[in-house]
């Protein structure tokens, strides 16, 4: 294992110290491992928080800031944050208008956010939850009941964050979150495994001449393995299941081609070109896009594709100003 670390046991704590030193727009509660906006939540504003296991950066901590999240809870690598962490983030961001929990559909995340919501309600904080479940690759997996929550989480956090920023109430913010959740789909693939620092070796074995289609962001098994092929065919195998699962034809869409952490940006742009050609041919009008590393799996090589059917409301919220380490425009 070759990594820029000191000790596997200290990776998260030391990474959070680096975040604290690097970004003046956030403050880090090191005891609870929560990244907050530097400024407190505006009175009367709905707070939007998320979190999950570390190793997916910039998700979630890199999306804390104006126009997006109010706080993010950092669990250990690929491990759900505890209810106490989530409670600290919930209570610490509530400004009287309630809190929305954005939760990826993994069993530990769902359970711990649910427990934290119950504890927060006992303290008088109203909490609503949206569970992101956009992965078309598998219906049930090693970590989930139902579909996994993956790339759509990034788009949802941006859009919902904008809705909260402009002053919508909690019910209206939840309505936007549900709309995004219903209209977005994702699919990913891997060229290599990832290596969790504490394990010191690859999570799974993937031969040099093989790829895995439908991989999860923790290295969970996908749909199948097959011999490595060209980018054009890989794009087809990611896009076709997305289009088969939801009616995008004739619609405008926001599209993300996301790197899993170990794939050069040049290859991601190449993949975007192939994905865009397939979507154009299918009658999907791509009006916005992201290309880069937004929800990763440590050092895994590979990519994922997310397609979100959009409309005037969602597009306006997408275009609204945002200032975070991971996304920034309009400010």
Residue in the structure block whose two tokens are 């000790």:
7
- DSSP character for 82? P
| DSSP E strands, the chain | 26-29, 34-37, 47-54, 71-77, 99-104, 127-132, 184-190, 210-213, 224-227, 252-259, 285-292, 302-310, 322-323, 328-329
Q: Which of 56, 60, 101, 246 is catalytic?
A: 56
Residue 224 annotated as catalytic: no
DSSP string, 161-229: HHHHHTT--HHHHHHHHHHHHHHEEEEEEESS--B-TTT-SBSS---TTEEEET--TTS---SEEEE--
Residue 218 annotated as catalytic: yes
Per the DSSP assignment, residues forming a β-bridge with 303 are 189, 259
Cis peptide before 58 (omega within 30 of 0): yes
CA 53 to chain centre: 11
Answer positive or negative: Cα dihedral of 155, 160, 166, 172. positive
What angle separates helix 107-122 from helix 83-93, to the nearest 10 degrees? Answer: 50
Name residues whose C-beta falls within 8 Å of residue 134's C-beta, 6 or more positions apart in sequence. 147, 148, 149, 150, 151, 152, 153, 181, 184, 185, 186, 306
Question: Helix (H) and strand (E) counts for the chain?
Answer: 8, 14
Q: Which of 30, 101, 218, 224 is catalytic?
A: 218
Exposure string of 28-60, with b = 16+ CB inside 10 Å and e = fewer, is bbeebbbbbbeeebbeebbbbbbbbbbbbbbbb
Positions marked catalytic: 56, 218
């Amino acid at each position: 294992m070759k990594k820029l670390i000191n000790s596997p046991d200290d990776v998260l704590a030391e990474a959070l110290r680096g975040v604290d030193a690097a970004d003046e727009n956030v403050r880090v509660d090191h005891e609870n491992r929560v990244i907050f906006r530097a400024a407190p939540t505006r009175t009367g504003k709905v707070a939007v928080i998320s979190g999950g296991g570390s190793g997916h950066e910039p998700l979630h901590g890199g999306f804390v800031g104006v126009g997006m999240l109010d706080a993010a809870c950092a669990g250990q690598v690929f491990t759900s944050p505890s209810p106490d962490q989530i409670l600290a983030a919930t209570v610490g961001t509530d400004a009287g208008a309630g809190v929305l929990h954005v939760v990826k559909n993994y069993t530990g995340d769902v359970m711990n956010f649910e427990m934290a919501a119950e504890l927060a309600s006992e303290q008088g904080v109203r909490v609503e939850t949206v569970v992101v479940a956009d992965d078309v690759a598998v219906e049930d997996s090693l970590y989930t009941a139902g579909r996994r929550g993956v790339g759509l989480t990034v788009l949802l956090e941006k859009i919902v964050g904008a809705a909260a920023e402009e002053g919508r109430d909690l019910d209206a913010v939840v309505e936007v979150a549900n709309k995004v959740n219903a209209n977005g789909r994702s699919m990913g693939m891997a060229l290599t495994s990832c290596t969790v620092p504490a394990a010191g070796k690859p999570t799974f074995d993937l031969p040099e001449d093989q790829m895995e289609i439908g991989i999860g962001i923790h290295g969970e098994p996908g749909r199948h393995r097959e011999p490595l092929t060209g980018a054009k065919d890989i794009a087809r195998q990611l896009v076709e299941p997305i289009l088969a699962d939801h009616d995008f034809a004739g619609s405008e869409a926001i599209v993300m081609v996301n790197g899993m952490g170990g794939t050069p940006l040049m290859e991601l742009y190449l993949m975007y070109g192939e994905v865009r050609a397939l979507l154009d041919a299918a009658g999907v009008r791509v009006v916005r896009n992201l290309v880069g590393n937004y929800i990763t799996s440590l050092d895994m090589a590979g990519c994922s594709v997310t397609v979100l059917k959009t409309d005037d409301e969602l597009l306006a919220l997408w275009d609204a100003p945002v200032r975070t380490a991971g996304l920034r425009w309009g400010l």
